Structures are given as C-alpha cells and as structure tokens.
Amino acid sequence: MKPPPGLKLIDENGRRMDGRRPDELRKITMKAGVLKRADGSCYLEWGNNKVIAGVYGPREVHPRHDQDATQAIVRCRYSMSPFSVDDRKRPGPDRRSQEISKLLGEALSPVVLRQMFPRTAIDVFCEILEAEAGTRCAALTAASVALADAGIPMKGMVASVAAGKIDNTVVLDLRKEEDNFGDTDLPVAIIPKTGEIVLLQMDGHFTDDEFDVAMQYSIDACHQIHGMQKQALREKYLDAAVEKRMSEPAESEVML
Ligand code: ADP
C-alpha cells in the first residue's frame, strides 16, 4: 500500500519515523517466569507489541491417536486479544492466527529434544495483548524463553525478527506504518546457537543484494535478541536465588 501524501517513512538523513537507523531494533524488554500456573512463561514488550507466552508440558496427548510414539509434538496457539489492535478484533481463531500458530509450532519443533518425551505434547500459548507489527517474531522470541523457563530440553533457543524495505531502503524490524506502507516484509527466525533458519517468509520483492542485506540485518539482530533471552532467564534465577536467601533464617538465628 502506498503511504498517504506527506507521510515520509525515511528522511533525508536516512532516519526512520521513530528516529531509528535502518539496522536498529525497537526497544525490547522481556521477563521470564511471570505466570504461576504455567510450567514456563515469558512476558515481552517489543516497541508497542505486548506478548505473553505460557508453556505446559510435556504432558500426555489426548486423544491417543494424536500421539507420536517416537517423540513429543509441539503445539502452538497464537491468539490476538480483541483490544490488541485499533479496531476491536473479533475474538477467536481466524485464518491469520491459524497460519501463525502453525508456523510457530514448525519453527519451535526443531529446537526441542522431542525424542526424550514420546507420546507427549508440549503446548505453547502466545497471547498478543497489543500489536504493532512483528507480532509473530515477538511471539516466537517469547515462546522460546517460556520453553526454556519450563525446563524443556532444547538444542538452543529461537530468536526472530523481520526485515523489510521502505522507500527503497532495506530496514530492520518494521513498525506498523512501515509494515502497512512499505514494499517488503521478511520475517526470519534462527537458532542462534547453530545458525539454522527455522522461519523465513517473504511478502513483497527484494533484489538479490537487498535480500542479502536484509538477511544480514536479521541474523545480527537475532544474535542480539538471543543475548536478551539469556539475560531474561539469568535474571529469573538470580531473583529466585535472592528470594530464597531472604526467606532462609540467617546463620546466627539458626544457632539460637
Ligand atoms: P505480524 O504482526 O507478525 O507483523 P502481520 O504482518 O499479519 O503480522 O500483521 C501486521 C500488523 O497488522 C499486526 O502486528 C497488527 O498490528 C496488525 N493487524 C493484524 N491483524 C489485524 C486485525 N485483524 N485487525 C487490525 N490490525 C491487525
């Protein structure tokens, strides 16, 4: 879609509407272990996206004919809340959320050591509380942290981000207007530990050179995001250790 007259997605200094450089991420914060009743969880804010991911499992699959006798199945549900977008979104599944649920499951399956848990399911729920473009990448990033928080054995985490093209410039991490009025959107997810690509979609066109730049921006950013994911998990265990120490009687009290 063409931008309305007067709306400049990128200025003469190469800065974007929010002042970012082409290869700059929006602000990202994440916190692991935010839900009491899920086995693992993560709350993530990415620009104006707000996402919560909760994980259950491994748990027995019912009905039994859905079981895989050799390995666990990873099931994902991506869901947008009615208040996540400007116009109230009709609650419940739609074509888009079904497609995103499927691709999230397919991106996460290769990292989970599924052979360790035959006949079980690992269920991942991603709830989009507020959406401002890039929610599938945000959901995938949060889901990986939630899986790790649940103690699910994995060969690495999945980190994800989209790149795109606006005004003939390749940019990283599209915000809403850039997604709506830009030319290309390329969501990517990798396992930073191994370099494997587990998600690659493209809407629009890139030349070969633009595609290479977009991939390089995305891969570099995924490594940056991976650092944040590890930090979120570290912080959870540091907080737990501090809490435990505070609740234990001091050594002098024990002696009394
Ligand atoms: P992603 O969120 O992964 O970028 P899309 O490219 O499909 O996925 O969507 C881009 C953005 O469009 C979303 O993040 C959201 O802000 C908006 N959007 C998606 N679906 C709806 C909807 N049903 N109603 C209003 N806005 C929507």
11 alpha carbon to ligand 1 midpoint, in Å? 25
pLDDT of residue 58: 97
Kindly tell me if the per-residue pLDDT of 256 is higher than 70: no
Nearest to 201 by CA among 216, 213, 209, 211: 211
pLDDT of residue 227: 98
Q: Is 89 in the pocket of ligand 1 (CB under 6 A)?
A: yes
How does pLDDT run across 62-112, given as a tens digit for each residue? 889 999 999 999 999 999 999 999 999 999 999 999 999 999 999 999 999
Mutation choice for ligand 1 from 104, 135, 183, 218, CB with most ligand atoms inside 8 A: 135
182 alpha carbon to ligand 1 midpoint, in Å? 14
179 alpha carbon to ligand 1 midpoint, in Å? 9
Pick the CATH number of 28-251 from 3.30.230.70, 3.60.20.30, 3.40.50.720, 3.30.1360.120: 3.30.230.70
Amino acid found at 56: Y
Kindly tell me if the per-residue pLDDT of 1 is higher than 80: no
How does pLDDT run across 26-44, given as a tens digit for each residue? 999 999 999 999 999 999 9
pLDDT of residue 255: 55
The answer to whether 198 and 107 are in contact (CB under 8 A) is: yes
- Would you list the domain boundaries of the chain? 28-251
Q: Is 120 in the pocket of ligand 1 (CB under 6 A)?
A: no
Least confident of 4-13, 33-42, 129-138: 4-13
Distant-in-sequence, close-in-space partners of 217: CB < 8 Å, separation ≥ 6: 22, 23, 163, 170, 171, 172
Tokens in use for 141?
Answer: 């990033």
Mutation choice for ligand 1 from 1, 85, 97, 101, CB with most ligand atoms inside 8 A: 85
Question: What confidence tier does 253 reach under pLDDT thresholds 50, 70, 90?
Answer: low
Nearest to 157 by CA among 227, 214, 218: 227
118 alpha carbon to ligand 1 midpoint, in Å? 35
User: What's this model's pTM, rounded to 2 decimal places?
Assistant: 0.94
